[in-house]
């Protein structure tokens, strides 16, 4: 795999995180268009899946690339559109399944989504594998970004060899594989003032909407005084999804302790200057199974990895590098 070096005009993990998400060109070709399907779930809820419209180009047996988005992400996140553009140019089918409540409409059930949602990831991938088979398509490849990457690798570790029934290879991009380390890091200093505030604004609004749907689901006053992910997960995410509290949730949902159980080709890509994921928390070679490739370049930020000259630059290095790694193992 080619090494990554950030442009000289964009130094540091925070700039390499923020600039690509706000200003980089997302696509080289035409604007990305999706076709949405709504899937009913067994518990009376739904998820929305966006399929790339107009692709793949003249390849009925093309592989399907599935992208699991990050915290509060969607098919319109900068990285999702960049991956969609790469998939289109490469002749792949492409789908973004939205975690519950992330598609623009609040979900129905008294739950949301979380970093270790193994059952949900498995159900989605199994259904997409059947969709591929029905259309005569090729293998299914799955990538997850940040929270979605942890959930994907957590699922792969849980499934072991059985994961190959659904996917040929998986990749996690900038996943906080040790949720406690990442959760505490984002709650301190600059991270707390910028990233935590951004996430909490939308997460709290969704939680209040959920409380209106299901009165008494959690303590409104406690949430009103929550100002970081630790408190939010303790009040909302953990109890709604069967965990004893935030510490239990972060421990049990983290993918890092399960990486040695993965039995399909898997890539874990983490920049060592990621402001969300402390470098000291990243897995080492002796902590993962033989099917897991660790790629930990010095630069890149959190889901940034910009390349090119000064603005307008782009973020296409990331989907190309990760996508080609997956394709080589299809």
- pLDDT tens column, 226-248: 999 999 999 999 999 999 999 99
Catalytic residue among 228, 234, 274, 281: 274
What lies within 8 Å, CB to CB, of 188 at 6+ separation is: none
Confidence of residue 279 (pLDDT cuts 50, 70, 90): very high
State the pLDDT at residue 209: 97
CA distance 260 to 72: 29
Residue 22: predicted pLDDT? 87
Q: How confident is the model at residue 23 (pLDDT cuts 50, 70, 90)?
A: confident
The per-residue pLDDT for 29 is 82
Burial 150-184 (b: 16+ CB within 10 A, else e): bbbbbbbbbbeeebeebbbbbbbbbbbbbbbbbbb
The verdict on whether 146 is a catalytic residue reads yes
Split at pLDDT 50, 70, 90, the class of 325 is very high
Q: Cα–Cα distance between 157 and 30 in angstroms, integer?
A: 37
pLDDT at 75: 98
Dist CA 131 CA 293 (whole Å): 28
Going from N- to C-terminal start, the domains of the chain cover 13-178+255-327, 183-253
Active site annotation includes 274 = yes
Pairing of strands 266-269, 292-295: parallel
Per-residue pLDDT band at 294 (split at 50, 70, 90): very high
Q: What are phi and psi of 170, to 5 degrees?
A: -135, 155
Q: Give the rounded percent of residues in the chain with a pLDDT score beyond 70.
A: 96
pLDDT at 58: 42
Could you tell me the two tokens for 229? Answer: 């992910």
Which residues are within 8 A (CB) of 238 and not within 5 positions of it... i.e. 6 or more apart?
A: 244, 245, 246, 248, 249
- Which among 220, 307, 316 has a CA at the least distance from the CA of 10? 307
pLDDT at 60: 76
Instruction: Tell me what the mean pLDDT of segment 44-63 comes to.
Output: 83
pLDDT in tens, 111-139: 999 999 999 999 999 999 999 999 899 99
Q: Are 122 and 100 contacting, i.e. CB atoms less than 8 angstroms apart?
A: no
Task: Report which of 305, 285, 302 is spatially closest to residue 294, judged by C-alpha positions.
Answer: 285
Which of 18-32, 33-47, 87-101 is predicted with the least confidence, judged by mean pLDDT?
Answer: 18-32
Tell me the helices (H) and strands (E) count for the chain, helix number first: 12, 8
The Cα–Cα gap between 82 and 173 comes to: 13
Q: Per-residue pLDDT averaged across 286-309, rounded?
A: 93
* Active-site annotation holds for 227: no
> Would you state the pLDDT for residue 55?
56
78, 114, 258, 302: the active-site residue: 302
To the question of pTM greater than 0.85 for the whole model, the response is yes
Q: Looking only at Cα atoms, what is the longest distance across the chain?
A: 55
User: Which residue in the list 77, 90, 146, 281 is annotated as catalytic?
Assistant: 146
The pLDDT assigned to 314 comes to 57
Is the pLDDT at 92 greater than 60? The verdict is: yes
**CATH of 13-178+255-327 given 3.40.190.10, 1.25.40.10, 3.40.50.1820, 3.40.50.12780:** 3.40.50.1820
What is d(CA 84, CA 30) in angstroms, rounded to the nearest whole number? 11
Question: Helical H runs in 160-262?
Answer: 179-185, 189-191, 197-213, 220-224, 229-232, 238-240, 246-253
Taking residues 101-110, report their average pLDDT. 97
Instruction: Give the span between the Cα atoms of 318 and 306, in whole angstroms.
Output: 8
Tell me how long the chain is.
330
Give the number of other CB atoms < 10 A from CB of residue 31. Answer: 8
The predicted-structure confidence for 307-318, as pLDDT tens digits, reads as follows 877 655 555 688
pLDDT in tens, 181-206: 999 999 999 989 999 999 999 999 99
């Amino acid at each position: 795999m080619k090494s990554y070096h950030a442009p000289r005009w964009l130094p540091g993990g925070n700039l390499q995180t923020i600039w690509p998400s706000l200003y980089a060109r997302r696509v080289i070709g035409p604007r990305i268009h999706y076709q949405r399907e709504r899937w009913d779930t067994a518990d009376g809820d739904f998820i929305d899946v966006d399929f790339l419209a107009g692709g793949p180009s003249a390849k009925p047996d093309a592989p399907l690339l599935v992208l699991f988005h990050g915290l509060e992400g969607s098919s319109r996140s900068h990285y999702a559109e960049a991956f969609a553009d790469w998939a289109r140019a490469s002749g792949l089918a492409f789908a973004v399944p939205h975690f519950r409540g992330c598609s623009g409409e609040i979900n129905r059930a008294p739950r949301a989504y979380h970093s270790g949602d193994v059952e949900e990831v498995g159900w989605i991938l199994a259904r997409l594998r059947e969709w591929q088979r029905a259309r005569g398509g090729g293998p299914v490849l799955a990538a997850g970004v940040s929270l979605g990457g942890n959930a994907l690798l957590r699922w792969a570790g849980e499934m072991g060899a059985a994961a190959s029934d659904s996917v040929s290879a998986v990749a996690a991009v900038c996943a906080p594989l040790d949720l406690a380390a990442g959760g505490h890091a984002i709650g301190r200093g600059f991270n707390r003032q910028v990233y935590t505030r951004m996430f909490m604004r939308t997460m709290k609004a969704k939680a209040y909407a959920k409380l209106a749907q299901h009165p008494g689901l959690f303590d409104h006053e406690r949430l009103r005084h929550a100002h970081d992910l630790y408190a939010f997960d303790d009040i909302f995410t953990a109890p709604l999804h069967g965990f004893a509290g935030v510490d239990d949730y972060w421990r049990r949902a983290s993918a890092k302790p399960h990486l040695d159980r993965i039995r399909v080709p898997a890539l874990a890509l983490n920049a060592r200057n990621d402001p969300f994921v402390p470098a000291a928390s990243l897995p080492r070679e002796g902590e993962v199974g033989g099917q897991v490739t660790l790629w930990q370049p010095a630069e890149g930020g959190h889901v940034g990895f910009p390349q090119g000259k000064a603005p307008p630059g782009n973020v296409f290095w990331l989907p190309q590098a990760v996508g080609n790694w997956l394709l080589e193992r299809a």
